[in-house]
Amino acid sequence: MSYQVLARKWRPKTFREMVGQEHVLQALVNALDHDRLHHAYLFTGTRGVGKTTIARILAKCLNCETGVSSEPCGQCSSCLEIAEGRSVDLLEVDAASRTKVEDTRELLENVQYAPTRSRYKVYLIDEVHMLSSHSFNALLKTLEEPPPHVKFLLATTDPQKLPVTILSRCLQFNLKNMPPEQIVGHLRNVLGQEMIGFDEPSLWLLGRAAAGSMRDALSLADQAISFGSGKLGEDDVRSMLGSIDLSFIYQLLEALAASDAPGLLAIVAHMAEHAPDFEGSLDELISMLHRVAVAQVVPDAIDNSWGDAAQVAQLAGSMTAEDTQLFYQMALNGKRDIALATDPRSGFEMILLRMVAFRPAAVIDASLTPGDLAPAGPAAKETVAGEVDDTVKKPLRAPATAPPEPVTQVPPSTSRETVRAAPRETVKPVPDQAALQAGPGSAGSAAGQPSGRRQSQANSPVAEPGIAAAAHDKTGQAYVLKTLKPVDWHGLLEQLGLGGIVYTIAINSELRSINGDTLQFVLDQANAALFNKGHVEQVRAALEKYFGQALLVSIEPGETGGETPARRQARLQQERQQAAVASIEADPLLQKLIARFDGELDRASITPVDP
C-alpha cells in the first residue's frame, strides 16, 4: 500500500476524534441526539480547521444505517462509502471549479428525487463563496425549502462574500483557529503512535508555523520528518522553516537592555550569515518580549515549553516593565512597517535602533540629597537618549509654596514621525497682597519661584483671566440674595446640589432678573424639549434651601440674551485648550524633538489638566 500523508491518515472519523471546535461540536451533537436537524448548515473558518471534516462526519451521522445519532458506527456500508468518498448520496461539489449558473441548475435538477440508498441526499458544497451571483440566485429557493430528504452542508473560508440571503437561510458555525497548544498536543499524540522520534521545541516550532491550521501542521510535520531523515529535531525544523536560533533573540534583548546599538548591529550581521527570515525573527522577538512581560508581572507563570525559563527570568530582571512594553509596542508597529523597507534586514535593524533611540533616559545628579528631589510622577521630564540638554540635567527641586512647573511628557512615537504631546496646562498663580505691593520680583520670590519665570508667564499669549475665574468658582463663595446679580448664577448653581435633568435645565438657563424674592430664568430654546413644570419646583426648592427663605421662581423657554453657565463652561474650556496648546508649542524641548526628527505636533492629543 502506498504511503498516505499524515493529514489524510489522521483525519478524524468521528466527532470524538476532533481536536478543538468544541463550540461547534456541542451544538451538532445535541441537534443529532435530540432530532432537531436543520436543512442547511454553513461552516466558516480559515484553511485546515475542520470545515470539510465536520461536514463529512455529519453526513455519516445522518445516513448511518444504525440510525441518526452523534456517533456513527463506522462499519455499515453507508459509513464506509462516505469515508472512502464513493457514496452516491453524498454529492461533494467544489464551487471554485463550478461557478457557472448552468452548473448549479444541473446540480439542483436531481434534488426532487429521493436518495438512492441512504436516508438523506446530502449536498456538500465546498468554497461556496466562489459561486457567481446568478448561481446564488438559482440556489436560493431550493436552499430555503428543500425536500425533506435533502440536507445542504456549505463550507467557506470567506463568509463575507456570501449574500445575506444565503446566510439567512443557513445555520452558521464559525470554526476558530487552532492555538499552538492544541496543535502541539495533537502532534505529540500522532508522532507517538507513528513511533517517530521528536523533541518538544520542534513541535512548538511547527505549531506556531501552522498559524492555526491543523492540516498545515501535519503537512509541515511530514516535510520535517523527510528533512530530518525520519525524526524531528529542533535544529532541522528551524533550518527547514528558516526560523532564527533563539540564542540570537536572547542576545538582541540583552543588547537592548544595555542600549548597546553597535552590539545590536553586530548581532544582526551574525544572523544574516545564516540567511534567516527577518520577518519571522521579528515574530520571535515579539513572542519573547511577551514572555518577558509575563515573567515581570507574574514570575510563576513563565512558559517553560522551550526549556529556557531561567533565561527568560534573567531577561525580565535586566529591563524595566516600562521598557518591555515600549519594545513590544515598537516591534508590533515595526511588523506592519517592515514590508515597506528596502529589504527585510534594514527594516529589522531600524526597528531595533528605534527601540534604542526612543528608550527614555534617566539623569541622576549624584550631588543631590533625597530631600532635594521632587516627587516622581508626571512632573518628571522624559527625554530621548543622547538628547539630554543642560536644562534637563538640572535637579528638580520642590518649591517652597508654589506647585512645580508643569512640563511636557513626550511619549516615544512608534507608528509615524509624529510627536504626540501629553496633557499640559499653564495656570497663572494669584499672588497675595504682600507680593503685589512688593512688585514683580518679590512676587516671584514669595511664590518660591524665580522672577524670570513669573515674567515669562505674564508675557504668555494665553487667555489667563478665564482660567483664573474657573479656579475662583471652585472656592465656594457665599451668595446673598440682596446682592445677587445675574452674572453670579454660574457660581451659585454649583452650590445648589442639583443633578440629572434638573441640573441640565439649570445650567442651560440664564438668570434674567432678580426682583426681591422673585427670580426669573430663561431656558435656552435648544433644551426646551427636556423641560417640564416639575423642574421649576426642584430648582425653587434648591434655591429656598440655600437662601433660607421662600422664593418665587419661574423658568420659561426662549432666546437667551446673555451667557448661560453651559456656554460659559464651553468658553472657558476652549480658552483652557488654547492655553494648553500654546504652552506646549512654546516648550523648547518639544521644539528640539520636532526639529531633530522632522515631526509635527499632534494637537488633537493635547488635553488641559484641571487646576
User: Which three three-digit cell numbers place residue 84?
Assistant: 472512502
Q: Can you say whether the dihedral through the CA atoms of 250, 252, 256, 259 is positive or negative?
A: positive
Q: What is 180-241's CATH number?
A: 1.10.8.60
Please, what is the angle between helix 344-357 and helix 261-272, to 10°? Answer: 160
Which distant-in-sequence residues (6+ apart) come within 8 Å of 190 by Cβ?
6, 10, 218, 221
Q: Is 90 helix (H, G, I), strand (E, B) or coil?
A: strand
CA pair distance 413, 420, nearest whole angstrom: 7
* 124-143 b/e (C-beta count within 10 Å ≥ 16 → b): bbbbbbbbeeebbebbeebb
DSSP 228-251: TTSEE-HHHHHHHHTPPPHHHHHH
Which residue bears the cell 531633530?
A: 596
pLDDT at 610 (0 to 100): 66
What does the pLDDT read at residue 458?
35
Q: Which residues of the chain form CATH 3.40.50.300? A: 6-174
C-alpha cell at 278: 527577518
User: Quick check: helix, strand or coil at residue 94?
Assistant: strand
What lies within 8 Å, CB to CB, of 373 at 6+ separation is: 395, 396, 397, 398
Closest to 279 measured CA to CA, from 347, 204, 325, 342: 347
Compute mean pLDDT per 10 residues along the chain, 611 residues long, and list them: 83 90 92 91 92 93 91 90 89 82 82 88 90 86 88 92 90 91 91 90 87 91 90 86 82 91 92 84 91 88 73 88 92 91 92 90 51 43 40 38 42 39 39 39 38 36 37 61 88 88 90 90 84 88 91 90 88 89 88 85 81 59
* pTM recorded for the entire structure: 0.54
* DSSP symbols for 597-609: HT--B-GGG--PP
Model pLDDT, residue 355: 93
* Start-to-end CA span in the chain (Å): 83
pLDDT of res. 209: 86
Residue 490's CB is within 10 A of a number of other CB atoms, namely 21
C-alpha cell recorded at residue 485: 446679580
Query: For the purposes of burial, counting CB atoms within 10 Å of the CB of 222, is it exposed (0-12), middle (13-18) or buried (19 or more)?
Result: middle
Packing angle of the helix pair 51-63, 77-84 (nearest 10 deg) = 160
Residues of the chain with CATH 1.10.8.60: 180-241
Edge-to-edge strand list for the sheet holding 40-44:
90-94, 121-126, 150-156, 40-44, 171-174
pLDDT score recorded for residue 397: 37
What class does CATH assign to 246-357? Answer: mainly alpha
Task: Please answer whether residues 408 and 424 qualify as being in contact, where contact means their C-beta atoms are separated by less than 8 angstroms.
Answer: yes
**Residues carrying CATH 3.30.300.150, the chain:** 473-569
Grid coordinates belonging to 358: 526612543
Superfamily of domain 6-174: P-loop containing nucleotide triphosphate hydrolases (3.40.50.300)
Q: Which CATH class is domain 473-569?
A: alpha beta
Task: Give the closest residue to 276 by CA, choosing from 234, 242, 238, 241.
Answer: 242
